[in-house]
Amino acid sequence: MNLNRRQFSAALLAAAAVPSGTFAADATLTVNKLVDPSKLIPIAISGFTGEVLSTLRFDLEVAGCSVVSADQAVALVHGTNGARLEGFVSDRAKNYLLTKGYAGAGARQLAHAFADDVVFALTRTRGIAQTRVAFKSKAANNTGEIFVADYDGHNAVAVTRDGSIIAAPSWGPGSQWLAYTSYKLNNPDIFSHNLVTGERHIVARYGGSNMSPAVAPGGRLVAMILSKDGKPDLYVADIHGRGLQQLTRSREGVSSPCWSPDGQWICYVSNDEGPALLYRIPANGGAPQRLRTTGVFNATEPDWSPDGKSIAFTTQGGGFDICVVPAGGGEVQRLCAGQDPTWAPNSRTIMFCKRGRGGPLSLSLLDVPTKRVKDVPLNFGNCSQPTWAR
């Protein structure tokens, strides 16, 4: 089978249009394997060493590749690493999809940059290997700090040093703003925090609890749960806390809001009908609508995918499960055990929190179409409540 580069990538893209004549039977098979996102892409990695190899392998496995021997792979990822990283992607007949050199950064960054290019060459979707996440790390005395790290848990930096109970970091999509709940002033209050300048503002410090902030796309607004009027209800204010507006007037109380990627809707959890269920409401006020979640009895901590198509959430039976449902409501798909999902910018990968019975809280990555889970190697305290920069 002699595919040239253009034919090979065209074949990867278009499964339905299998060209006849020159293509052998196994070429058709290869093509089908690659375009079905629920199937792992078998690849072989050669030539790389040390941290570059381990970083690259982790990135590609999270992206839905499985690393196999060269004779079983449909794509060969090879190259060299020294001060400069040279990377190639080809099929087994040595038709090249990618040849590129990388320099001017540490080994991990070079490997991440190459991994993103490999993912794009194979799937024509943008990789997530160079993205970052924020999360909460909790010590034994219940106090915690907010950390920002690479999506694989490396290069973690503490962005707070308050030594108090802290919770629910939310990274505003496309912005440098983080919001979180801190007990620093002896009450659960909501702070906004600019990650570039380090400036902080009090968004909400009202009587009662001020909880679960969600920064809107663009970072201008914050949705949050306040109990100042007698029930935990949904409110929206700007990132400095000005112009507070109450959106819900619930009987039983609401929790954990998230924004639609266009900023028009807020999805949240309400107990008004007994069990915790998902609702959505226009962000500038209006009537709440129940979101059907067929197949589960309760739903908490929703997160709307950046492509707007689905909502990930946690359901609870004996343990916690990560689920997804179409953004308009409908049949629920259970994915794996875990809680508090956050979508990656590619609307395909999810980071979530795993809780071993009695064990510490830790973070894991889930590739939604293949349902494959990979743990994030972090070695400090209980890590939970991830929020992806997107």
> Is 301 an interacting residue with respect to another protein (CB under 8 A)?
yes
- For residues 68 and 42, the answer to whether their CB atoms sit within 8 Å is yes
> Is 179 an interacting residue with respect to another protein (CB under 8 A)?
no
For residue 338, what are its two tokens? 């875990």
User: What are the distances in angstroms from CA 355 to CA 154, 174, 221?
Assistant: 21, 30, 31
Closest approach of another protein to the CB of residue 358, in Å: 5
> Is 336 an interacting residue with respect to another protein (CB under 8 A)?
no
**Distance from C-alpha of 149 to C-alpha of 171, rounded to nearest angstrom:** 12
> Is 201 an interacting residue with respect to another protein (CB under 8 A)?
yes
String marking each residue 119-148 x if it binds another protein according to CB under 8 A: -----------xxx-----x---x-----x
Choose which of 101, 163, 286, 369 interacts with another protein (CB under 8 A): 163
For residue 127, what are its two tokens? 């990789």
> Is 35 an interacting residue with respect to another protein (CB under 8 A)?
no
Numbers of helices and strands, H then E, in the chain: 4, 31
Residues 70-129 that bind another protein (CB under 8 A): none
Stretch that binds another protein, among 22-30, 57-65, 99-107, 182-190 (CB under 8 A): 182-190
> Is 209 an interacting residue with respect to another protein (CB under 8 A)?
yes
- Spatial CA neighbour of 336 closest among 374, 298, 384: 374
Q: Determine the straight-line distance between the first and last CA of the chain, rounded to whole angstroms.
A: 40
> Is 152 an interacting residue with respect to another protein (CB under 8 A)?
no
User: What are the distances in angstroms from CA 338 to CA 105, 162, 194, 334, 371?
Assistant: 35, 28, 30, 11, 12
Stretch that binds another protein, among 31-39, 83-91, 93-101, 254-262 (CB under 8 A): 254-262
For residue 213, what are its two tokens? 């902030």
> Is 232 an interacting residue with respect to another protein (CB under 8 A)?
yes
Amino acid at 387: T
> Is 5 an interacting residue with respect to another protein (CB under 8 A)?
no
> Is 261 an interacting residue with respect to another protein (CB under 8 A)?
no
Closest approach of another protein to the CB of residue 293, in Å: 15
For residue 214, what are its two tokens? 């969600």
Stretch that binds another protein, among 50-58, 100-108, 156-164, 370-378 (CB under 8 A): 156-164
159 burial (CB, 10 Å; 0-12 / 13-18 / 19+) is: middle
Closest approach of another protein to the CB of residue 108, in Å: 15
> Is 384 an interacting residue with respect to another protein (CB under 8 A)?
yes
CB atoms within 10 A of CB 157: 11
Residue closer to another protein by CB (options 217, 370) is 217
Stretch that binds another protein, among 14-22, 84-92, 99-107, 227-235 (CB under 8 A): 227-235
- For residues 156 and 88, the answer to whether their CB atoms sit within 8 Å is no
Instruction: Say which DSSP state 37 is in.
Output: T
String marking each residue 44-73 x if it binds another protein according to CB under 8 A: ------------------------------
**Distance from C-alpha of 260 to C-alpha of 240, rounded to nearest angstrom:** 21
> Is 197 an interacting residue with respect to another protein (CB under 8 A)?
yes
**Distance from C-alpha of 340 to C-alpha of 364, rounded to nearest angstrom:** 11
Residue closer to another protein by CB (options 49, 245) is 245
Closest approach of another protein to the CB of residue 63, in Å: 16
Closest approach of another protein to the CB of residue 161, in Å: 4
* Residue corresponding to tokens 């040390």: 50
> Is 207 an interacting residue with respect to another protein (CB under 8 A)?
yes
- For residues 122 and 143, the answer to whether their CB atoms sit within 8 Å is no
Residue closer to another protein by CB (options 41, 299) is 299
